[in-house]
Amino acid sequence: MFLDFFFPDRCLGCNNIIAANIFVCEICKNQIDFCNNKFEDENVLKEQCKTIFPIENAFALMRFQKEGLSRELIHNLKYNKRKNLGKLFAKWTIERLSFDKKPDLLISVPLHPKKEKERGYNQLHLFTETISEFYNIPFDHQIIKRNYYAKAQALKDKENREKSADLFSLQKPISGKHVLIIDDVFTTGNTMSAMAWEILKNKNNKVSVLVMEQDY
């Protein structure tokens, strides 16, 4: 209570004082470009994915805004130790996402162990776990691993981004599952594609995708 008085929580958009663990005031939230598309419908994200791997369904929470609040929030989630923003993104997702038929398994894109140690956490885990609990869909953070440490996709040149073979490997067999792959931002789709194809090596599997932000 003492610290709350002298160091109140502030909106990450306008810096006004807000209630604890809210992160964003309603005025700033209304400036975010939410996609509001249906998971099973045709949409831009699904069309993009179709060009690089077979996909069942796709859902993006927000559209990319170069100077927008969504980018600021994701930056804070990934790099400023604000991992509880994962719960906020999950809350916003739950408000907008429904399934005609639920996927069988949630898998978030893993970090390389060195990267996760540097960051202190995987920014997708709390988001995935919150989604899992609400929809009663199991998740597994150990089922797939990233095989080598690399720079962030946004910092790589095009040639290196295309070298995604063997980026991931399964640690447990998956067969006959509809897997929902979860990531923070969809840009080129190279990381998502590499992970999807690893799961689709078993022809009995299907994949869908869920991302916090779509950059197109």
pLDDT tens digits, one per residue of 94-114: 999 999 999 999 999 999 999
Q: Are residues 95 and 181 in the same domain?
A: yes
Q: Is the pLDDT of residue 197 over 60?
A: yes
Q: Are residues 15 and 5 in the same domain?
A: yes
What is the C-alpha separation between 137 and 207, in angstroms, rounded? 14
Measured CA to CA in angstroms, residue 132 lies from 102, 106, 180 at distances of 11, 7, 11
Q: Are residues 78 and 89 in the same domain?
A: yes
pLDDT in tens, 113-172: 999 999 999 999 999 999 999 999 999 999 999 998 865 454 355 555 455 668 999 999
CATH code for the domain in which residue 100 is found? 3.40.50
Containing domain of residue 13, as a range?
Answer: 1-31
Q: Are residues 62 and 99 in the same domain?
A: yes
Q: Are residues 82 and 156 in the same domain?
A: yes
Q: Are residues 143 and 176 in the same domain?
A: yes
At a CB cut-off of 8 Å and minimum separation 6, what does 126 contact?
Answer: 83, 84, 86, 87, 90
Indicate the pTM of the whole model. Answer: 0.89
Q: Are residues 173 and 203 in the same domain?
A: yes
Q: Are residues 23 and 83 in the same domain?
A: no
